[in-house]
Structure 1
Amino acid sequence: MESLDMGVGRGCQDDPGAEYVRVPEGLQSGAMASTASELIGSGVTVLPGGCVSGEVYAPGSKSLAQRYLLAAFLAEGQTQIRGLPQCRDVESLSSALSGLSGGDWGPGGACESARWPTQGSKQQMLTLSVGESGTSARLLTACVALGGRSWQPVRVMPEGTLASRTSPALMEALIKAGAHIRSRPTVGVTDSPGWPLEIEPVVCPPRLSIREPSSSQEVSALLFALAAGGGGTLAVEGAIPSAPYLRMTESVLSEFGVEVDEVNGLFTVKGTLRAPATEIAVEPDASAAAVMLAAGCVSGGKVRVAGLTSGSVQGDIRIIEHLRAFGCRGAVDARGAVASGIPCRGARLDLSGEPDLAPILAAVGAIACLHSGEACLLEGLGTLEGKESPRLSGVAHALSRLGWQVRTGPDWLSVDAAPEHSPAGVEPTVLDPAGDHRMAFTFALLGLSFTGVRITGCDCVGKSYPNFWEDLKQAGANTQP
C-alpha cells in the first residue's frame, strides 16, 4: 500500500489488494470466539482496570540462548553460559544436543565441546526431538546434514505446529550441497519439505548457496554449518527476511572466534569456533520485554525492564521506537528499557525486521485507534502466516470480533476504525491463541485495555516466557484463573 490517510475516522484509502476481515460463523482461524458456556476449562481471564507498573525482569533471550548453546556444542573448549531461560524452546534444543553427545550435556550452563559419537553403526538411526522451535530445527538440521560422513544418520522430529511448517529454501540448499535428506510427510501437510526429516550427514563443502530464503534462520543455519566446518562462503540470492536476527547470529559467532563478512549477498566465514575465555551472560529477551512494556502503556502504567540496554544485539529492542510512534513515552538507558503513556495516535510501521513484534503492536495500534480515531498500518508482515499460527489472519479476526474494522493484505494489516464503546456488562470474550505464545500475549493486551477476554490454552506462553501470567499479575494486571 502506498497511501494512508492518518486523519481521524478515515483510515486507509481503498486498495485493490485489501481484504476486509469478516467474522464468519463458527470457528475462526487463529482466534476463536466462544460463548459464555465455554468459559469453563484451562485458561486465564484478563480484565480492564489494572495498572501494570514497576520493574520487571524478563527471561533471557531464547534466540540468543539457542545460538549460544549450538556454538558451545560445536566449539573447542568449555563455554560457561549464565542466564539461560527455562523455556520450552531452549530446553528442547538442550535435550537434542544431549542426545547428540550421548549424555547429559551442558548442566548448569557449563557447556563442553561435544561432537556426537561416531563409533555407532551407520545404519543405526539417532532420533532427536527439537520441540516446536523453528530456530532449533533449522540450525540443527543444517549442522547435522553438513556435519561429516563419519556421523551416524539422524532423524529430526518436530512437535506441535512445527510439523506443519516448512523450510524449502534451506532443504534445497542442503540437498544441493550433497546432503541426503528424506522428508517424512505429516498427515495433512502437502507443502514442500519440512519436519520430520531423516538425514545422512556429509562433509560441508566450502561453498554454499541459497535462493529466496523465507526466514533469516535458513541463512543463519548455513552460516553455523560453515563455521563448524572451518569456514567458507555462502551466496544468498534474494532478500533476507528479519535481517536483525542474522546480525544476532553474526554477533554470536564473533564471540566464538568466527568472523562473517558480507558483500552484495556473498557471506565469507573465517575462523575456528572456540569457547570464549569469559562467561557469557544471556541478555533479557527483547520480544518478551516488549509485551510487558506494551502492557504498561495500554494500561496507563509505567514499566521498566531491567538489563535490556541500548547495547542489545536483538532487533526487537526497537519496541521503544515503535511505542513512541503511537504517542507513548519510552527510553533505553544503562538500567534498562522503560515505557509509559497511553497510545494516543495512529502510526505506520515497517516491521519487516521485527515480525515477532507485529501481533502486540497490532493490539497497541488498536488501542491507539480507540483513543484517537486514527488509523494504524503495519507493513512488512509477509512471514507472519508461516509462524506457530497464522498470525496475520489470527490477529485480524480477534480485533474484528471485538469490534474494530480491520483490513489485511499479503504483508500488511490496517486497523481502520475502533468500536464505539466497550461491550460492558457482558461475559469476557473467549479467544483461542491456537497454541501460539505471541497470540496469547496480544490477547492479554486487549483484555487489559478494552474489554475482558478469556484466553484458552494459556500455557502456550511456556515456549518463551513461562512466568508471563505471574509477572503480569504481580505488576498490577487484573487477571483471574
Structure 2
Amino acid sequence: MDAVVSFDSASAPRRVIVRLPVSKSIINRLAIIYALSGRVDELECYAASSGDADVMLKALSRRSEVVDVGDSGTAMRFLMSYFSYMGRPVTLAGSRRLCQRPVADLADALTTLGAEIEFPCDDGYPPVRIVKGLRRCGGEVDFGKGIPSSQYVSSLMLIAPMLDEGMRIILPDITPSYPYIDMTARLMRRCGADVSSDGRSVSVLHSSYCLPESPKVEADWSAASFWYEFAAMHRDVTIVLPDLAEQSIQGDAAVVSLFGALGVETRWIDGQCVLHASCAAANHLDLCLEDVPDLVLPFVVACLSTATTFEISGIKHLRIKESDRIASLIDGASQLGFVLKWSGQSGTLSWDGSQCKRPRIPVVDARGDHRVAMVFALASSTFGPLKIIGMDSVNKSYPGFMSDINIAGFSTGIL
C-alpha cells in the first residue's frame, strides 16, 4: 500500500496524546519462554499488538512442517533455537528480504550443541531446515570472532535454562545491540531463570522458568522514538506518551538522552512521559549508536530537520535489517534535498550540511521496512507532502501508527 502523507500545521493540535503499542521485543522473548513452559496460549491477547508478535505466536501455536515467518528476523532466529531444542523437524521460511539476512553463525552454534541444520537454497541463509534437535546436555558456545546480531545470543539464552548443564556463551569484543542481550537476561530473571553476565560472556544455569500469573509488558520505547523525532521538529507541540515505563528494561529508553541533544526535554508527570523541545539543538554531533540501531533512522531525520550536522559510527549492521537501512536513509534524505555520506570501511554515516535539488513531491520507497516508512512519513510535517511506497509495512511493529499520526495533524491519502 502506497500513501501520500501531508501535515496541516495550522489545524494540528498543540498537545498530542499517543497510546504506544507494547514492546514487540518483550513479547517475542516472552513467547519463547511461555512456549517452553507450555503456556504460550496465555499470550494470545498480544497477537494483534504487532505483525512480528502475530507471526511468532502463530508459529509457536501451530504444528506445521513449514513455518513462514514473513520478514521477521527475530522469529527466524528465536525459532531456530526453539525448534532445535524441541527436536521437531521443521523448515523455517520467510520473505525474499529475510532470505538475504545471514543466520550461519547461529546455525553453527546450534550444530555445536548437537543440532543438525540444513540450508535448502543458499548456504548460511534462510530458508532453514531443522533436521535433528540438539543434545539437551547444554555446553559452551563461542561467538568470540564476532556476530552480526545480538539476537543470536538472546535466541540461545532463552532455551538455555532447559538444558541439563545450562549454557555459557562467549561474546565477541564488540557485540552489536548489547542492551538487547541485557534485556533478555533481565526478562529471564523475572521469569525465574539464573542468568549472569560480565560483558564478556553470558552464563545460564539449568533451572525451570517460574512464570508470573500475568506478564507485565511495557509500551515500546522503539515506537516512542518516532514521537521524539516529531517533537524535535515542532517546538510548539507537546507529546504525551502515557504507557511508557520510566525504569525500563528496554535499551531504546536511551532515546531520552539521545534526543536531549536535539533539545527535546523528557519529563515524567503523574507517571506519564511528556515530550517538548524546549532547548536549542546541537550544531554538530559525533556519536556511536552501535547499541541502539533502531534509534538511528528517527535521529538522522530529526537532525536534518534541526540542521544538526553529524557523524554516526558503529552502524554497519544496519545494512542487514528489514532493508539496507543505510541505503534507505541516503535515498530518502536525497528526496528531501540532503546529501548523506557513508563510509563502508569505518561504518560511519555523516552529514556536513550538503544539500541537493529535491523533487516537487518526494517519493520514498520504504523497501518493506516499517521504520523507514514511519520516519519519513513524520518528515512530511517539516518538508512537505511525501509519497511513501509500502506504507503498510508499519504493521510489523506499530499497527496503529497511521491512526496516531492522523490525530497529530497528518493526512494520509491511500493510493
TM-score normalised by the chain length of structure 1: 0.78
Distance apart, 1:479 and its partner CA: 3.8
- 1:102-181 matches, within 5 Å, as 126-147=65-86, 151-181=87-117
Q: Does 1:196 align with 2:132?
A: no
Post-superposition Cα deviations, 1:162-202, rounded to whole Å, max 9, x if no partner, equal 122112221221122221101022xxxx5x51211111213
2:125 is paired with a residue whose SS is coil
Go from structure 1 to structure 2 and tell me whether the alpha carbon gap of 1:478 and 1:153 turns closer, same or farther (over 3 Å shift). Answer: closer
State the identity as a percent. 25
C-alpha deviations, 1:402-461, integer Å up to 9, x for none? 2213211232211211649x96xx742111100000001121132111232111211000
Give the counterpart of 2:266 among 323, 330, 342. 330
Matched residue type, 1:344: A
Name the residue aligned to 2:174. Answer: 239
Equivalent position of 2:281 in the other structure: 344
Question: Which residue of structure 2 aligns with residue 44 of structure 1?
Answer: 4
Question: What does 1:78-477 correspond to in 2, within 5 Å?
Answer: 80-81=42-43, 84=46, 85-100=48-63, 126-147=65-86, 151-185=87-121, 192-199=123-130, 200-211=132-143, 212-230=146-164, 231-263=166-198, 265-300=200-235, 301-332=237-268, 335-341=271-277, 344-345=281-282, 346-369=284-307, 374-410=308-344, 411-417=347-353, 419=355, 427-477=360-410
Q: CA offset at residue 74 of structure 1?
A: 0.5
User: Which amino acid in 1 is paired with 2:125?
Assistant: G
2:24 corresponds to which residue?
Answer: 62
Report the residue type matching 1:44 in the other structure. V
Distance change (3 Å), C-alpha of 1:167 and 1:82: closer
Preserved contact between residue 219 and residue 245 of structure 2 (Cα < 8 Å): no
Query: Structure 1 residues 204 and 331 mapped into 2: Cα distance closer, same or farther (>3 Å)?
Result: farther
Asked which structure has the greater CA Rg, the reply is 1
Q: What is the alpha-carbon distance in structure 2 between the residues aligned to residue 69 and residue 249 of structure 1?
A: 12
Residue aligned with 1:405, SS: coil
- Preserved CA contact (<8 Å) 1:52 1:299: no
Q: Secondary structure at the match of 1:377?
A: strand
Whole-angstrom distance in 2 between the partners of 1:349 and 1:380? 9
Distance 2:199 2:232 in 1: 40
Q: How far apart are residue 204 of structure 1 and its match?
A: 3.3
Instruction: Indicate if the aligned counterparts of 2:100 and 2:125 stay in contact, CA closer than 8 A.
Output: yes
The one-letter code matched in structure 2 to 1:385 is R
With over 3 angstroms needed to count, the CA separation of the structure-2 counterparts of 1:365 and 1:227, relative to structure 1, is: same
Indicate the residue corresponding to 1:121 in structure 2: none
1:376 positional shift: 1.9
Question: Quick one: structure 1 residues 42 and 479, their matched pair in 2 at CA, closer, same or farther if it must change by over 3 Å?
Answer: closer
RCO comparison, higher one (Cα < 8 Å, 6+): 1
Q: Is the 8 A contact 2:161 2:209 kept in 1?
A: no
The residue number in structure 2 matching 1:75 is 37
| Aligned mates of 1:396, 1:388 — CA distance in 2 | 16
Q: CA deviation at 1:275?
A: 4.0
Structure whose residues are more often helix by fraction: 2
CA shift in 2, pair 1:333/1:271, >3 Å: farther
Aligned equivalents of 1:220 and 1:277: distance in 2? 21
Whole-angstrom CA distance in 1 between matches of 2:68 and 2:260: 41
Does the CA contact (< 8 Å) of 2:322 and 2:368 recur in 1? yes
**Cα distance 1:408–1:52, how it changes in 2: closer, same or farther (>3 A)?**
farther
The Cα of 1:338 is off from its aligned counterpart by 2.3
CA distances 1:340-380 after superposition (whole Å, capped 9, x unpaired):
228633323321111011011110111121xxxx4122222
Q: Secondary structure at the match of 2:92?
A: strand
* Coordinate RMSD, CA, aligned: 2.4
In structure 2, the gaps of 5 or more residues are none
Name the CA shift for 1:170/1:395 in 2 (closer, same or farther; >3 Å): same
Shift of 1:474: 0.9
**Structure 2 Cα separation of the partners of residues 474 and 139 of structure 1:** 36
Contact kept, 8 Å, 1:302 with 1:339, in 2: the verdict is yes
Deviation for aligned residue 1:307: 1.7
User: Contact 2:32–2:82 at 8 Å: present in 1 too?
Assistant: no
